[in-house]
Chains A and B, each alone.
Chain A
Amino acid sequence: MTWRRERWSADHSLPIGVTKRAQVGELVRAGDIIAAGATLAGALRIPGARRLGLSPSDLNRELRARVGSDVVAGTVLARVGRRFARSVTAPIDGRLLHVTVDGDLYIAPIVDRWTVRATLDGVVSRSDDAIVEIEGDAWCFQGAAAYGPDAIGELTLGVDGPNADLAAARIDVRLGGRIIVGGARVSAEVITRAHACGAAGLVAGGVPPAGLRVVYGDAVTASGSPSRDDRPTVLCLMGFGSGALPQAVYEPFAALAGARAAIHTASARLFVFSTADIGQSETPSPEVGLTEDRPATDVPVESADAETDETDREHEEPAQTEEELTPSASDGSPRG
């Protein structure tokens, strides 16, 4: 567990229904929208190739609407012939979602819109319908687990020292859009209050798992719970319970306060975008005030898989990658 400044990559999983996304090579900043799309309801399957008398492989040639585009009821989706034309039209307003192997078309009504924002300043290195991956330089601290959607905001110290717990009384709407460093521990009350006040996210040495269950539900595990919905974002740096931050971890927080930062929950990482020289921190001893049963070593939780899946970890693939930034978290965040 140490601060490191180097080149990182961050995956951003995209939900079904992407409309536009950043292209490979594009420069982005944390907080920028890198993909947008539509939330879709139950899709209708309508005959395509069969109605037009085509083989499924020929359907693509006759499509008049691009797969993934929005259509209104009555839009001609595909058409053949001139004098005795046959066509397939959209029965509803929605998104032309998918073409089956049989040449049928799926159209789904749009019920909402979504956006995914970058969590790293850098260059898009991969972009497809499932993932947008960004590579860039940043200060980074690898946490133990993270919960909620990704968050972007100004890094703000919420405590006076590494051993202090963040008190709920210190949180108000003035901290809206910021990532608050909560010291050794943040409670469920602090998490919910910070979310209610519009804080982008919380970073703390430890979080009581009972509090996490209150906020995220009983199914929450120690490996984190990245999500897309409007929930608080919490990054546990050291573990669970109360984890006094070692000086080597806390001092860089103090030095980087005020800088733009992002929590990438899928990989449980805090990125800070600053050129400040905080030194290459030594790996701190895990002097975590955790209730431990066994000798502590520095192996992250999800290395259950990593134990044997080294390649994935080498590439810093997150255990899960699914996120959408809450507008409140990123829109209001200062861009520096």
Chain B
Amino acid sequence: MTVSTGTEAPVERARVTLDRSLRVALVHGREEASRLAVAQLALASGGQIVARLRANDPRSFVEAAQALRDAKPDVVVIHGGPKDERALCELLEALRLGCGAQRPMPRILGLVETSVAHALRLRADPFEFERFAAASEMVDALRAVRRARNDDLALRDTVIEDAARALATTNGTTALAVDVTERSTSLVLARPDGRIEAAHLVPLGLGMGADHVVVRASLDNVRRWLPWPIDAPALLERVFNRSRLSGGPATTEAAVLLEMALAREAISHALRDAADAALDVPAMRSAQSILITGQAASFPTAGQSLLVLVDGLEPSAVSTVFREPDEGRAQRIGMVVTVTPRRTAKIRIVRASGRSVAQVAPGSFGLVEIGSDVEVAVDGAGVRGHGRSGELGILIDARGRPLRLPERDGERIPAVARWHTALQAAADDRRST
């Protein structure tokens, strides 16, 4: 994988991988803040959540122990306050019963106060218990577990975070990196001051994670993005067989369009999980710079990557979009202007060579071609911002938010096909590579 920290040239080459899947069981206190804390930890560390237990879990002691045994966690992440101490100790007993014979034994990582940690440590025997004072330290520890056998390895999620951080610093704006691979989907929001919010979901992707996209999103929600009718069993077969074949570029138009459909839902569900963990999803949607990486950036045309992004992410402001395939250079592909006019409105587009006005009707969706990669400012219809047009130009999206697709095939398929055509995203329209 090549990751650039600028907008044009790759600056770093490294052996990047998701490394081994980390099975994480989450144990948290009664408070909502505690649930959010462990959810954020799990998302930031790229672990696969295999069990969740809370202090006031309705499951019985035996059921909790069985759930933990079945989950076979590598790591148990605990968070809770002093009020939860007793209940957390009880859950540790369930862990001792459920996973006492597991080899290797799960490690327990606690983001708890010192006094609570002392009580938990006593009851954690025979498991290794580590207390962390800050969430970032625990995320580092969880990543270290994933990297255990390859210390020189760069984890893909850290590389994506570095890319988002570099983009934010370079442009002085909030930046969002969207990475969709065979089995993972990541969203990383970086601010100019270097702070980041990250959600790395595994398994959720276009290949080995494709079946999980369908399980989470439902088959109908994947199918709705396809610009042709397909019956559910046939689509399900395609998705299941993708899950067991190794990666590689899609070779047919149908495969590309299916990957695009899966990518939209993967991004959408990553956003949902990020929202559930109280990450700043509105800021992600309004990020001024957006970088697409992974397989979502490797579609044959730039329009396909852009379409997947706007459909899955549903940006809410003016954003400049870059894409960077795993084996390619970063390129600025377009500028997205999201407007939600109630009636036909005008948007003024200003650039060095002059200005123009675009008429925007509600529901419209299309490119305004204004020349390749020029500095542009837009104003009007409740939107104002600036950016660079990129290779495709300015995409004005007036379809509304949240984006709703017609339910009937007869209305939806033509609409989806129209959107594909607007961005030259049908596989026949290969304007760019």
A residues within 8 Å of B by Cβ? 13, 15-17, 40-43, 45, 97-98, 100-102, 106, 108, 128-131, 144-145, 208-210, 213, 218-223, 239-241, 290-297, 299-301, 303-305, 307-309, 311, 320, 322
Contact = CB atoms under 8 A, between A and B. Distances in A.
Contacts of B9: none
A273 to B, nearest CB: 27
A22 to B, nearest CB: 15
Interface in B60-113: 60-62, 65-66, 69-70, 72, 93, 96-102
B238 A129 contact: no
A193 B107 CA distance: 45
Given A221-B211, A311-B149, 14 more contacts: A43-B61, A97-B62, A98-B96, A101-B125, A129-B100, A221-B212, A240-B241, A241-B241, A290-B237, A293-B254, A293-B259, A295-B245, A299-B245, A304-B182
B18 to A, nearest CB: 7
Contacts of A131: 101
B241 A101 contact: no
B402 interface: no
B242 interface: yes
B206 to A, nearest CB: 10
B72 to A, nearest CB: 7
A299 B246 contact: yes
A240 B101 contact: no
Interface in B249-277: 249-252, 254-255, 258-259
A230 B125 CA distance: 36
B249 to A, nearest CB: 8
16 contacts: A15-B66, A43-B61, A43-B62, A221-B243, A222-B210, A222-B240, A240-B241, A241-B241, A291-B237, A295-B248, A299-B246, A303-B208, A303-B246, A308-B20, A309-B20, A320-B72
B69 A291 contact: no
Contact of B236 (A41, A98, A213): A213
Contacts of A208: 233, 236-237
A17 B97 CA distance: 10
A101 B62 contact: no
A223 B209 CA distance: 10
Leading 3 A-B pairs by shortest Cβ distance:
A293-B255, A222-B243, A130-B101
A296 B150 CA distance: 29
B122 interface: yes
A123 to B, nearest CB: 19
A181 to B, nearest CB: 21
A277 to B, nearest CB: 31
Contacts of A42: 60-62
Contact of A322 (B70, B97, B149, B258): B70
B240 A304 contact: no
B203 interface: yes
Nearest to A317: B72
A309 B252 contact: no
A127 B69 CA distance: 16
B418 interface: no
Contacts of B209: 304
B101 A301 contact: no
B18 A290 contact: no
Nearest to B216: A219
Nearest to A98: B97
Interface in B139-194: 149-150, 182-183
Contact of A292 (B17, B20, B60, B245): B245
A301 B70 CA distance: 20
A106 B243 contact: no
Nearest to A56: B122
Contacts of B21: 304-305, 309
A297 B246 CA distance: 6
B244 interface: yes
Most chain A CB neighbours (cut-off 10 Å) among B236, B240, B246: B240
A239 B101 contact: no
Given A101-B123, A129-B100, A218-B215, A291 B238 contact: yes
Most chain B CB neighbours (cut-off 10 Å) among A145, A209, A218, A320: A209
Interface string B213-240: 0010010000000000000111011111
A294 B62 contact: no
A98 B101 CA distance: 13
B130 interface: no
Contact of A301 (B60, B123, B243, B250): B243
Given A98-B96, A106-B61, A239-B244, A16 B238 contact: no
Contacts of A311: 149
Nearest to B234: A291
A296 B218 CA distance: 25
B241 to A, nearest CB: 5
A129 B97 CA distance: 9
Nearest to B214: A221
Contacts of A222: 210-211, 239-241, 243-244
B57 interface: no
Most chain A CB neighbours (cut-off 10 Å) among B62, B93, B255: B62
A128 B105 CA distance: 13
Interface string B1-38: 00000000000000001111100000000000000000
Contact of A145 (B61, B244, B255): B244
Contacts of A241: 237, 240-241
Nearest to A44: B61
A158 B258 CA distance: 35
Nearest to B17: A308
A58 to B, nearest CB: 16
Nearest to B22: A305
Given A100-B93, A293-B252, A210 B61 contact: no
A209 B246 contact: no
Given A42-B61, A42-B62, A43-B61, A209 B236 contact: yes
Contacts of A304: 21, 182-183, 203, 208-209
Given A293-B242, A293-B255, A294-B248, A308 B237 contact: no
A301 B244 contact: yes
Contact of B215 (A17, A97, A221, A300): A221
Nearest to A109: B62
A144 B211 CA distance: 14
Contacts of B183: 304
A314 to B, nearest CB: 13
B4 to A, nearest CB: 25
A213 B219 CA distance: 11
A210 B236 contact: yes
A105 B242 CA distance: 49
Interface string B35-60: 00000000000000000000000001
